[in-house]
């Protein structure tokens, strides 16, 4: 198989061109998997969506994280209020 982007030979294992970094399309991956089955190789290439779709990438945030965000918001609002009060005092004084 050849890379659809740069035309160089694709690796027999993996799904990324070693020369330009382009990912194989779904048809190329199917062709590679068929080749691997013919040669009785255990390695099979999977689409990125198949590989990473099984894992939880994000975990629920704990209460401490939400508390930290709330505290940050309070600090930012306090600083803005302080700046507004200083600006009013300087403008009127």
pLDDT tens per residue, range 37-80 = 777 666 555 555 555 555 555 555 556 667 888 899 999 999 99
Assessment of whether the complete model's pTM goes beyond 0.85: no
Sort residue 21 into left (φ over 0), alpha (ψ -120 to 50) or beta. Answer: left
> Does position 87 have pLDDT exceeding 70, yes or no?
yes
Average pLDDT taken over every residue of the chain: 76
pLDDT of amino acid 89? 93
Asked if residues 44 and 24 have their Cβ atoms less than 8 Å apart, the reply is no
């Amino acid at each position: 198989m050849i890379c659809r982007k740069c035309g160089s030979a694709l690796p027999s294992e993996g799904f990324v061109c070693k020369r330009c970094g382009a990912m194989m399309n779904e048809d190329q991956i199917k062709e590679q998997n068929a080749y691997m089955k013919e040669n009785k190789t255990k390695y099979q290439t999977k689409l990125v969506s198949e590989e990473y779709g099984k894992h939880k990438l994000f975990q629920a945030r704990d209460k401490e994280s939400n508390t930290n965000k709330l505290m940050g918001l309070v600090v930012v609002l306090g600083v803005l209020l302080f700046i507004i009060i200083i600006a009013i005092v300087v403008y009127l004084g």
